[in-house]
Structure 1
Amino acid sequence: MTNWPEVLAPYAHEITLHPGCSEPRLAAAKRILDRTLPQDLHGLYRHTDGIYDISGQWFSMWRLTDLVSWNLTSWREGPSERRTLLAFGDDGTGDPFCASLDRDPAVYSWSPVSQEATHLADNLEAFWPGWLSGQIGT
């Protein structure tokens, strides 16, 4: 299990974290989506309900309610390949960050233009320090 306070602490001056989600809220999201959140993403939402990028002034990790609404719309309107991914945030230009729904721990960026996923990191624990430090980009 990832220690999210420790992973995110070095970036505290660059981000705002919101109080984490309760298990009942996460269970409700699971019911609405009819999907289980990947384990590390579930743990991250227990720690924080969104990561707000202070300098860019956007949620690089969406609030749980936004995750639910964005994915429901995307799965309904998007290509079938998109239904294998769970978007949880974005790069500030509209390309969402996604976790695989098939137990692959990697993080991807989904391009709405090319309708393709690009590998960003092997897992969430590697993604956030890479993204927040500028070592990972889209």
Structure 2
Amino acid sequence: MRKVTHTAPMALVVDTDAAARARAVALLEETELDVITCASGEAAVEVLQRCGDDIAMLFTGFSLAGEMNGVELARAVGKLWPAVRLVVTSAPECGGLRLPADAVHMPKAWLPLDVLMQAHRAVRHPDPLVA
């Protein structure tokens, strides 16, 4: 598979819910991140295989199309692309998710400012362990 390099850092938004994806994209497009979207974890992994070095932030819902859920996706991304800032959103009742240590959990309905703060940190502090 051919690697793609991109000049601006990118955010990868993954969610089955098209409206949730659109809200996240609308916010993230106001940052210096370019945005790529997909509905499944499997599609997200394909994107990362092509341009993972350019992805600064993964913003994913818990429920995804396909076999992989958002937590599984976050674990895979954290292992294979450790520089990516991981943000997983879910319904408040899913608060007991077993996320990777460097992932951020944002209960739905997330606040726009929280998303923008994570985008800022993804670009300014590429080390995901920096809060």
TM range (shorter): 0.3 to 0.5
Question: Looking at CA atoms only, which structure, 1 or 2, has the larger radius of gyration?
Answer: 1
Q: Give the TM-score normalised by structure 2.
A: 0.37
Which has more strand, going by share of residues?
1
Q: Give the TM-score normalised by structure 1.
A: 0.35
